[in-house]
């Protein structure tokens, strides 16, 4: 059904469409408000936006949107000339006739002649690979189906590597495709035997190697393919060891390795010779320092850049390779988000990074690592207007049950009276080590401008406070994620930002599991729950080894098929299994019919059981997107329709 959504059982389709009709009818009085919000959201998006071009030798590559367009248009211009734009792939044109259209990859060959694309037209994350000859404008005949969307070119520009999915929707093979040959005969470069490990592809910054990545949530194993000799076998860097993660960068005859090996909880950086990369050859370059979580390593010809998080805030440190001299790029706001934007060029002194905060729109900078100067290349435009000075962002610490201090980031209008009377939306995720950034979002202004306080709870299960913060919210310690979120709500009440029963909780996917758990544990704390594509049938899903994500998820939650303690632990919090006869908050749940990550029946079952057992008259709505998957609608404006529904629901519940 993921590959062909039309195969959905007619009875199930009728059931889901009946739920959609019920949601539409219940929200009908809010239709005018929903449309108003939708227009607001659109008005904050620059209609003809474009990315800052990235230089790559003879060309600079970028993407842009046309006014009214839903999908990106990938383009290039000759470097250093005011030449005409060359459109490489027009997402708007290619999406015609497809209710869903997602572009996972749009990758040009090293010689700039070919463009490989990976496209999904159902939301199921089965991608189709095609190659375009940019010299002639013609598509090559071959078409690769059931791909994962991950690909990397060899340096000869005549071949590329890609991953494919098995019958359980798991990326398990890396193949090597030569242009103008039959994909059915593509040789297998590596095949993963463990269903708990997914494969991915990357290229080293130097372009010397294609990197084959095998990962579960806590263990990794990498292989290197010489991009100059793509027919040679992949070479193992270091065998997998449970709980040991590593990734590699390349410079000259040396590999730079970011890893948590040898008890380096917050990671360290080691070096090893290319010819002998095993663990026995690793020599520490940057020692482990507890509390300094190394997020990302980026190498250039003359510099090593690391993105790290200290005391819950990101920072960039630049090291000159010649002598090891380091400096930090400084920022002033109390809470902010910071990301590195890798380019194509290795021999350059220019680092591109992106900065934003809850009040400050995204700013793209080019930073000269030698001169230590930054140039603003782009600031996110908000066409309808945005005054950062009209808003306040703050961070408080919420004491958890065991004494841990949980950061909570807040955004509200400066003129809002803080006395507990304003409705407050509390967002959380808390899984897989994913941190929740204190970044800028134009969408949330539609709530904040209507008197809401917007808060993010940086709960355990993410890496907001380092890798240990993740370990303290997974597996046997999973309950910490849920109780941290509740503690955040209680701390906001104690600080006067909210009052009991006047909080909306919001989360999606694994954050939707969080929503289901806190709805069961503390329904009195929340007035509303928004659970988007929620992972709420945890025990059943983790007990079905045939589902796409189940084996890779066992390290995160535990394996109830083999571990009685894990089964008991999951059974104690699994949202579907712990619904009880009690009052619940107003609830809006969403689903995607072709979602391979959280199958549509999880939120459908959850809502059905809630309907049967809950004792209140509050709203309980289910909205299933019948033409999309985990990420919802694919077009940039279609996505806003879904946001507008969520906000209209919240405003209805809070009487705003």
Catalytic pick from 509, 574, 594, 634? 509
Distance of CA 365 to the CA centre of its chain: 22
Question: Contact, 362 vs 355, CB < 8 A?
Answer: yes
Contacts of 142 (CB under 8 A, 6+ apart): 131, 177, 179, 180, 181, 182, 183
Sheet strands (E) in 12-153? 54-56, 59-64, 73-78, 86-90, 102-108, 114-120, 127-133, 138-139, 144-153
**Separation between Cα atoms, residue 592 and residue 90, nearest integer Å:** 26
Structure tokens at 573: 């919090």
Contacts of 120 (CB under 8 A, 6+ apart): 100, 101, 102, 104, 126, 127, 128, 149
**In this structure, are strands 503-508 and 424-427 parallel, antiparallel, or unpaired?**
parallel
Annotated active-site residue 281? The verdict is: no
Residue indicated by tokens 């994350």: 125
Question: Contact, 413 vs 360, CB < 8 A?
Answer: no
- List, in sequence order, every residue forming a beta bridge with 406; answer none if it has no partner: 398
Question: Contact, 440 vs 360, CB < 8 A?
Answer: yes
**Separation between Cα atoms, residue 241 and residue 425, nearest integer Å:** 41
Q: For 319-377, give the secondary structure using H, E and C.
A: EECCCCCEEEECCCCCCCEEEECCCCCCCCCEEEEEEECCCCCCEEEEEECCCCEEEEE
Q: Which helix (H) or strand (E) holds 223?
A: strand 220-226
Sheet architecture: strand order including 73-78? 54-56, 59-64, 73-78, 86-90
**Separation between Cα atoms, residue 300 and residue 451, nearest integer Å:** 47
User: CA distances (Å), 312 to each of 435, 463, 585, 615, in order?
Assistant: 9, 9, 31, 41
Name the phi and psi angles at 400, rounded to 5: -80, 175
**Separation between Cα atoms, residue 600 and residue 151, nearest integer Å:** 29
Question: Contact, 160 vs 177, CB < 8 A?
Answer: yes
Annotated active-site residue 439? The verdict is: no
Three-state DSSP class for residue 128: strand
Annotated active-site residue 630? The verdict is: yes
Question: Contact, 322 vs 338, CB < 8 A?
Answer: no
- DSSP conformational letter for 30: G
Alpha helices in 614-637 (DSSP H): none
Question: Contact, 529 vs 501, CB < 8 A?
Answer: no
**Separation between Cα atoms, residue 493 and residue 426, nearest integer Å:** 12
Question: Contact, 358 vs 409, CB < 8 A?
Answer: yes
Three-state DSSP class for residue 141: coil
Packing angle, helices 638-653 and 31-43, rounded to 10: 130
Residue indicated by tokens 């909880």: 265
**Separation between Cα atoms, residue 500 and residue 341, nearest integer Å:** 41
Residue positions annotated with a catalytic role: 509, 595, 630
């Amino acid at each position: 059904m993921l590959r062909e959504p039309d195969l959905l059982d007619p009875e199930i389709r009728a059931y889901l469409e009946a739920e959609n009709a019920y949601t539409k009818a219940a929200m009908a009085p809010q239709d005018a408000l929903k449309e108003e919000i939708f227009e607001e959201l659109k008005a904050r998006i620059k209609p003809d936006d474009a990315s800052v071009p990235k230089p790559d030798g003879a060309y600079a590559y970028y993407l842009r949107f046309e006014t009214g367009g839903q999908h990106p248009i990938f383009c290039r211009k000759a470097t250093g000339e005011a030449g005409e734009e060359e459109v490489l792939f027009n997402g708007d044109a290619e999406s015609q006739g497809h209710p869903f259209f997602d572009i996972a990859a749009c990758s040009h060959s090293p010689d700039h002649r070919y463009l490989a694309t990976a496209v999904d037209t159902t939301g199921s994350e089965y991608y189709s690979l095609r190659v375009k000859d940019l010299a002639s404008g013609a598509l090559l005949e071959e078409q690769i189906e059931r791909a994962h969307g991950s690909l990397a070119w060899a340096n000869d520009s005549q071949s590329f590597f890609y991953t494919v999915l098995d019958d359980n929707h798991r990326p398990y093979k890396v193949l090597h495709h030569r242009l103008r040959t039959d994909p059915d005969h593509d040789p297998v470069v590596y095949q993963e035997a463990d269903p708990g490990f997914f494969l991915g592809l990357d290229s080293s910054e130097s372009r010397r190697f294609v990197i084959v990545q095998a990962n579960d949530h806590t263990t990794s194993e990498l292989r290197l393919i010489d991009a100059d000799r793509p027919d040679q076998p992949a070479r193992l860097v270091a065998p997998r060891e449970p709980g040991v993660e590593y990734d590699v960068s390349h410079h000259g005859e040396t590999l730079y390795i970011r890893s948590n090996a040898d008890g380096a909880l917050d990671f360290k950086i080691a070096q090893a010779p290319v010819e002998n990369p095993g663990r026995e050859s690793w020599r520490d370059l940057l020692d482990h320092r507890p509390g300094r979580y190394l997020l990302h390593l980026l190498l250039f010809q003359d510099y090593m850049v690391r993105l790290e998080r200290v005391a819950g805030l990101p920072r960039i440190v630049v090291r000159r390779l010649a002598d090891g001299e380091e400096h930090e790029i400084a920022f002033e706001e109390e809470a902010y988000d910071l990301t590195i934007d890798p380019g194509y060029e290795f021999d350059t002194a220019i680092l591109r990074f992106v900065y934003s905060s809850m009040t400050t729109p995204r700013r793209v900078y080019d930073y000269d690592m030698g001169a230590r100067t930054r140039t603003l290349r782009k600031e996110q435009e908000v066409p309808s207007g945005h005054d950062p000075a009209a808003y306040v962002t703050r961070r408080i610490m919420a004491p958890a049950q065991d004494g841990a201090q949980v950061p909570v980031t807040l955004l509200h209008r400066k003129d809002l009276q803080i006395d507990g009377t304003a409705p407050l939306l509390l967002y959380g995720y808390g899984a897989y080590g994913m941190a929740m950034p204190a970044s800028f979002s134009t969408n949330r202004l539609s709530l904040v401008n209507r008197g809401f306080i917007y808060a993010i709870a940086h709960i355990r299960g993410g890496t907001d406070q380092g890798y240990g913060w993740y370990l303290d919210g997974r597996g046997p310690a999973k309950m910490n994620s849920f109780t941290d979120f509740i503690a955040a709500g209680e701390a906001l009440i104690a600080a006067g930002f909210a009052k009991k029963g006047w909080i909306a909780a919001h989360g999606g996917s694994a954050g939707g599991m969080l929503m289901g758990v806190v709805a069961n544990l503390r329904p009195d704390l929340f007035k509303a729950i928004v659970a988007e594509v929620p992972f709420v049938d945890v025990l059943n899903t983790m007990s079905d080894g045939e589902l796409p994500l189940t084996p890779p998820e066992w390290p995160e939650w535990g394996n109830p098929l083999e571990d009685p303690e894990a089964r008991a632990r999951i059974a104690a919090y699994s949202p579907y299994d712990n619904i009880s006869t009690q009052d619940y908050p107003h609830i809006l749940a969403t689903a995607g019919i072709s979602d391979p990550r959280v199958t549509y029946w999880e939120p459908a079952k959850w809502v059905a059981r809630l309907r049967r057992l809950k004792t209140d008259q509050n709203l309980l709505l289910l909205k299933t997107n019948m033409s999309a998957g985990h990420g919802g609608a694919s077009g940039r404006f279609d996505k806003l329709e879904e946001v507008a529904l969520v906000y209209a629901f919240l405003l209805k519940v809070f009487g705003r």
